[in-house]
């Protein structure tokens, strides 16, 4: 019979052996696996560029070095991909995706295509704190934010849940601006082309990082007027462009705008379906965190004019989504009214 001391040592050894075996099993999970990287928008736009860059680097940081295959799943401004992720995608960590920050609030605000509870997603990280901007083409009479209150600006937008539609609609409802949004465009690539062709006179909301990455000549050649920022603070590269909060005239307006545009802090959201095993989600989050500090990754992002600005860890994303869902019911109803989803 084992003595008490020897029995205790044997039990400890068994526990450590089991823990080591479990850890190795997690580390080996991705070996010889293929990870599908879903992309919420069509090829050629900002979301596509960010997702494909992430997909190229992920095997370096994920134990087992899996093959990562990007796959565009556009529609509903990210709602199609999010709904697929929520109810169809494999929950073992072999399917992840990149979509807009609005994924965290679309269902909360009553968007009809958002059939999911964002609190249940496995949030991995956001590559940048993305600030969307309203912009007009250089030939438009709308040159500044002040002009938005007196002169109609015709803009192109995607689906009703896309920021290109929701954001200008919210400003019209809350502040009294004069956007006229033409919906039905497929995504950023289509709305930018519409501006260049003269079909529209601007874009009601486009991520500034997408402008920098996809259309840097718009800035260098002064082809656009940047009218307003939808973030809660001014972007360092746009010190003279007001935020939506600065356009508000009272505290009620500011409170509502804060709820609507808090999503800007998770502008390139990477997430997986519900119920990814905790240890596997931990691996994905650790890979994300390491990538966001990797010199090679950051150098390539800079070369591609892609902003990596205040990336948000997955744990913080989950906390933010839960906090937004806990907002006062009456404030959520007002937000729904503002973006026209009620």
Residues 250 and 270 in one domain: no
Residues 217 and 250 in one domain: yes
Domain boundary among 241, 262, 283: 262
Domain boundary among 262, 288, 315: 262
Residues 251 and 277 in one domain: no
In which order are the strands placed within the sheet that holds 153-156?
179-182, 153-156, 202-207, 132-137, 224-229
Tokens of 155: 């803009």
83/103 Cα distance (integer angstroms): 10
Residues 247 and 162 in one domain: yes
Residues 157 and 227 in one domain: yes
| 2 is a domain residue | no
| 8 is a domain residue | no
Residues 181 and 150 in one domain: yes
28/280 Cα distance (integer angstroms): 11
Return the CATH number at 224.
Answer: 3.40.190.10
Q: Which range marks the domain in which residue 68 is found? A: 28-129+264-339
Return the CATH number at 77.
Answer: 3.40.190.150
Residues 56 and 72 in one domain: yes
Q: Tally DSSP H helices, then E strands, for the chain.
A: 13, 11
Residues 146 and 249 in one domain: yes
| 198 is a domain residue | yes
| 306 is a domain residue | yes
- Structural domains in the chain (count): 2
Residues 147 and 51 in one domain: no
Reading the chain (342 residues) residue by residue, the pLDDT tens digits are: 445 556 555 555 544 454 444 445 457 899 999 999 999 999 988 899 999 999 999 999 999 999 999 999 998 878 999 999 999 999 999 999 999 988 998 889 888 788 899 999 999 999 998 889 999 999 999 999 999 999 999 999 987 767 899 899 999 999 999 999 999 888 888 999 999 999 999 999 998 988 988 899 999 999 999 999 998 889 889 999 999 999 999 999 998 998 888 888 888 999 999 999 999 999 999 999 999 999 999 999 999 988 898 899 999 999 999 999 999 999 999 988 888 765
CB 283, CB 62: distance < 8 Å: yes
Q: Do the strands 224-229 and 67-72 form a parallel or antiparallel pair, or are they unpaired? A: unpaired
Residues 51 and 149 in one domain: no
């Amino acid at each position: 019979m084992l003595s008490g001391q020897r029995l205790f040592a044997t039990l400890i050894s068994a526990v450590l052996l089991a823990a080591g075996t479990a850890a190795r099993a997690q580390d080996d999970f991705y070996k010889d696996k293929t990870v599908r990287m879903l992309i919420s928008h069509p090829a050629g736009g900002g979301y596509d560029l960010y997702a494909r860059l992430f997909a190229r680097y992920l095997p370096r940081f994920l134990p087992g070095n899996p093959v990562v295959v990007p796959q565009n799943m556009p529609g509903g401004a990210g709602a199609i991909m999010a709904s697929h992720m929520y109810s169809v995608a494999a929950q073992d960590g072999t399917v992840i995706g990149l979509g807009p920050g609005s994924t965290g609030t679309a269902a909360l605000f009553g968007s009809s295509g958002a059939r999911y509870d964002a609190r249940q997603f496995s949030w991995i990280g956001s590559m940048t704190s993305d600030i969307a901007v309203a912009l007009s083409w250089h030939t438009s009479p709308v040159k500044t934010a002040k002009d938005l209150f007196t002169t109609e600006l015709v803009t192109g937008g995607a689906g009703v849940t896309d920021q290109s539609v929701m954001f200008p609609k919210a400003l019209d409802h809350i502040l009294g601006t004069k956007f006229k949004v033409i919906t039905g465009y497929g995504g950023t690539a289509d709305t930018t082309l519409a501006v260049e062709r003269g079909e529209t006179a601007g874009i009601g909301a486009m991520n500034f990082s997408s402008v920098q990455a996809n259309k840097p000549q718009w800035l260098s050649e002064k082809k656009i007027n940047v009218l307003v920022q939808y973030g809660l603070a001014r972007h360092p590269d746009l010190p003279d462009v007001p935020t939506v909060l600065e356009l508000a005239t009272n505290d009620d307006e500011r409170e509502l705008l804060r709820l609507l545009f808090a999503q800007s802090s998770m502008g390139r959201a990477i997430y997986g379906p519900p119920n990814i095993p905790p240890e596997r989600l931990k691996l994905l989050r650790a890979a994300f965190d390491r990538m966001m500090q990797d010199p090679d990754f950051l150098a390539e992002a800079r070369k591609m004019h892609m902003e990596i600005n205040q990336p948000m860890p997955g744990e913080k994303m989950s906390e933010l989504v839960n906090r937004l869902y806990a907002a006062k019911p009456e404030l959520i109803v007002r937000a729904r009214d503002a973006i026209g989803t009620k």
